[in-house]
């Protein structure tokens, strides 16, 4: 208990002391009127003290008159004036000036300048008002900053949404482009494979077989046919067909230009698509040979703006060719057209390399190749092989009389006579100048004599008309022949012996056929001597 009382006695003065300290340090803000009254009162008291001291020290009689006014009254008036002035200055300092600054700040804030702040120079009413106003401005500034941040966040969100929308659209475009690129790559790959396939063949017949095989394997089409213009350019003939009931029989069919869908496609050079063949009057079903139902696409074959044929594609379902497939098949048609033209160029180049420009017969180089092949075959299988050497009689005189143009015409007509009167297995060529040579496989000497005589008679009966004078020119030929194995044992001797027989025929009066063994020994020696001359005498 004593310890408890002791604690209470010690605690009580500590509490009183702390409260005293708190009261001592507490500051109470003075209001503006109090400041004015205190300042004015202080000045008035100071003046009263000073004036009382001066009057006492100077022993001034306050009752004396100054300008007819008692001195005390003058002194009171002066004191009142000073007090009034001090009150006015104090009111200006403590009220007017701070209020004017606060009003200026409020005006700026009213115009939107929320970052301005009122000066807090006192703790009076105006100081408290300034402090509260500054706090309000701070809240407004914070709200404005929050609003600006919210607007920026909203703007950012809108931009982000816009970018996301654009990215989504771009992503869709990219996906579509990727699909298109994938389809394009697939189409290009297919076109490359088709191009490689169709360009692997250069012979015309082999080419159409390869085209049919490649198109069937790569495009998986049910039916298709390739038609090309004939030599007249007025008729389309089926050159290749697949999927028809009788595809080989279709090779005999054709159309005139402008006839049916196929003829119209070639005539106009435009692709024609028939979605339903049963509703198209122009579709002729290959002139009734093949009833085709479903979809039909006719794509012209064009090379350097020249339409020379068409490919017809068929499917059994109605409207089964999409725009992309039509575009692809047009490109396929271009590949096929290029392959066909390459084959034509190769055939033409090959023909030029083995044919004589003037007569259209094989040239000497090609004849030598054929002769070697036939010679090896005859020797291996012990078959007969005969050779005719033919020369136009008095040809130099014809050239000098009628001119070289007429001479060329005679050579062309002689060439046609020779081609028309030999077999398919026989080979006729222009050997040089007015000389011709005929190779007769599987033909003995008697057979060769019969062929030579037939050719001689055909030439003798032909009348070669000269253009300007309209006169007919008789032309005869001399023929010499040799045969294997009757006359020769070596390849080189076959031509030499036939040439010897030809010289003998010309020496015997021309327009005749002579075989090699018919020559006498003097004739043989003379023929050998003549062979050493560079050209034959016509």
What are phi and psi for residue 391, nearest 5 degrees?
Answer: -140, 135
Model confidence at 372: pLDDT above 90 = yes
Classify residue 29 by its DSSP letter. Answer: P
Question: Would you say residue 246 lies in a domain?
Answer: yes
pLDDT of residue 483: 96
Is residue 301 domain-shared with residue 402, that is, in the same domain? no
Tokens coding 448: 């060769």
Q: What number is the average pLDDT over the span 471-500?
A: 90
Question: Would you say residue 421 lies in a domain?
Answer: yes
Is residue 267 domain-shared with residue 399, that is, in the same domain? no
Distant-in-sequence, close-in-space partners of 264: CB < 8 Å, separation ≥ 6: 258, 272, 282, 298
Is residue 363 domain-shared with residue 342, that is, in the same domain? no
> Mean pLDDT lowest for which of 135-149, 176-190, 251-265, 267-281?
176-190
- The Cα 195–Cα 200 span in angstroms is 8
Distant-in-sequence, close-in-space partners of 198: CB < 8 Å, separation ≥ 6: 207, 210, 211, 214, 335, 336, 339
Question: Would you say residue 126 lies in a domain?
Answer: no
Is residue 323 domain-shared with residue 418, that is, in the same domain? no
The per-residue pLDDT of the chain, averaged, comes to: 81
Predicted TM-score (pTM) of the model is 0.51
User: Listing from the earlier edge strand, what are the strands of the sheet with 385-392?
Assistant: 427-432, 435-441, 385-392, 477-484, 513-515
- The Cα 247–Cα 239 span in angstroms is 10
Question: Would you say residue 192 lies in a domain?
Answer: no
Q: What is the 3-state secondary structure (H, E, C) of 255-301?
A: EECCCHHHHHHHHHCCCEEECCHHHCCCCCCCCCCCCCCCEEEEEEE
Is residue 367 domain-shared with residue 480, that is, in the same domain? yes
Question: Would you say residue 128 lies in a domain?
Answer: no
> Beta 513-515 vs 477-484: how paired, if at all?
parallel
Task: Write the CATH number for 300.
Answer: 3.30.450.40
Could you report the per-residue pLDDT of 393-452, keeping only the tens digit for each? 988 888 888 888 888 999 999 999 999 999 999 999 999 889 999 999 999 999 999 999
Is residue 485 domain-shared with residue 524, that is, in the same domain? yes
Catalytic residues: 434
State the virtual CA torsion across 482, 486, 491, 496 in degrees, nearest 10.
Answer: -30
Task: Write the CATH number for 506.
Answer: 3.30.70.270
Could you report the per-residue pLDDT of 164-196, keeping only the tens digit for each? 888 888 888 888 888 877 777 777 777 777 777
Question: Would you say residue 239 lies in a domain?
Answer: yes
Is residue 366 domain-shared with residue 403, that is, in the same domain? yes
Give the chain's domain count. 3
Domain hosting 496: range is 355-531
Q: What percentage of residues in the chain have a pLDDT greater than 90?
A: 24
Domain-ending residue, one of 79, 110, 141:
110
Tokens coding 253: 């069919």
pLDDT of residue 30: 75
Tokens coding 202: 């250069």
Is residue 272 domain-shared with residue 405, that is, in the same domain? no
Domain-ending residue, one of 57, 91, 110:
110
Domain-ending residue, one of 333, 350, 367:
350
Question: Would you say residue 135 lies in a domain?
Answer: no
Is residue 362 domain-shared with residue 487, that is, in the same domain? yes
Helices (H) and strands (E) in the chain, counts: 15, 15
Cβ-in-10-Å burial (0-12, 13-18, 19+) of 50 comes to: exposed
Question: Would you say residue 47 lies in a domain?
Answer: yes
Classify residue 355 by its DSSP letter. Answer: B
pLDDT of residue 496: 94
Is residue 391 domain-shared with residue 324, that is, in the same domain? no
- The Cα 212–Cα 198 span in angstroms is 9
pLDDT of residue 371: 96
Cβ-in-10-Å burial (0-12, 13-18, 19+) of 385 comes to: buried
State the virtual CA torsion across 212, 216, 221, 223 in degrees, nearest 10.
Answer: 40
Q: At 532, is the pLDDT very low, low, confident or very high (cuts 50, 70, 90)?
A: low
Model confidence at 16: pLDDT above 70 = no
Is residue 345 domain-shared with residue 364, that is, in the same domain? no
Is residue 467 domain-shared with residue 324, that is, in the same domain? no
> Beta 235-242 vs 223-229: how paired, if at all?
antiparallel
């Amino acid at each position: 208990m004593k310890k408890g009382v002791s604690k209470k006695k010690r605690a009580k003065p500590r509490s009183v002391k702390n409260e005293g300290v708190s009261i001592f340090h507490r500051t109470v803000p003075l209001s503006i009127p109090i400041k004015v009254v205190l300042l004015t009162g202080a000045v008035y008291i100071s003046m009263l003290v000073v004036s009382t001291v001066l009057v006492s020290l100077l022993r001034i009689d306050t009752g004396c008159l100054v300008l007819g006014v008692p001195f005390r009254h003058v002194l009171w008036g002066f004191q009142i004036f000073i007090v009034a002035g001090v009150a006015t200055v104090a009111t200006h300092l403590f009220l007017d000036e701070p209020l004017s600054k606060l009003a200026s700040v409020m005006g700026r804030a009213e115009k939107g300048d929320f970052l301005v702040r009122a000066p807090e120079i006192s703790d009076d009413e105006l100081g408290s008002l300034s402090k509260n106003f500054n706090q309000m401005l701070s809240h407004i500034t914070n709200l404005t900053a929050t609003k600006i941040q919210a607007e920026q966040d909203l703007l950012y969100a809108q931009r982000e949404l816009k970018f996301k929308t654009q990215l989504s659209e771009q992503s869709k475009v990219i996906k579509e482009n990727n699909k298109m690129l994938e389809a394009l790559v697939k189409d290009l790959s297919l076109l490359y494979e088709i191009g490689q396939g169709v360009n692997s063949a250069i012979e015309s017949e082999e080419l159409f077989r390869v085209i049919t095989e490649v198109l069937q394997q790569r495009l998986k089409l049910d039916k298709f046919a390739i038609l090309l213009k004939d030599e007249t350019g007025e008729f389309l003939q089926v050159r290749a067909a697949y999927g028809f009931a009788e595809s080989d029989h279709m090779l005999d069919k054709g159309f005139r230009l402008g006839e049916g869908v196929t003829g119209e496609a070639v005539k106009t050079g435009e692709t024609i698509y028939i979605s339903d063949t049963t509703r198209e009057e122009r579709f002729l079903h290959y002139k009734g040979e093949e009833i085709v139902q479903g979809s039909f696409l006719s794509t012209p074959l064009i090379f350097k703006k020249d339409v020379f044929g068409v490919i017809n594609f068929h499917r059994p379902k109605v409207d089964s060719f999409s725009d992309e497939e039509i575009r692809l098949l047009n490109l396929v048609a271009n590949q096929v057209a290029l392959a066909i033209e390459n084959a034509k160029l190769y055939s033409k180049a090959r023909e030029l390399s083995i044919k004589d420009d003037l007569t259209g017969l094989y040239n000497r180089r090609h004849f030598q190749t054929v002769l070697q092949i036939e010679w090896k075959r005859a020797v291996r299988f012990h078959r007969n092989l005969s050779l005719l050497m033919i020369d136009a009689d008095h040809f130099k005189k014809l050239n000098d009389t009628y001119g070289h143009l007429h001479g060329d015409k005679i050579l062309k007509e002689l060439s046609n006579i020779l081609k028309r009167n030999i077999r398919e297995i026989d080979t006729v060529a222009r050997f040089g100048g007015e000389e011709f040579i005929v190779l007769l496989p599987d033909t003995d000497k008697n057979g060769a004599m019969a062929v030579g005589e037939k050719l001689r008679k055909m030439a003798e009966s032909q009348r070669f008309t000269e253009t300007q004078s309209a006169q007919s020119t008789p032309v005869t030929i001399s023929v010499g022949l040799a045969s294997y194995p009757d006359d020769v044992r070596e390849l080189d001797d076959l031509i030499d012996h036939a040439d010897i027989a030809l010289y003998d025929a010309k020496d015997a009066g021309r327009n005749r056929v002579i075989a090699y063994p018919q020559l006498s020994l003097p004739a043989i020696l003379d023929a050998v001597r003549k062979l050493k001359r560079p050209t034959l005498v016509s």
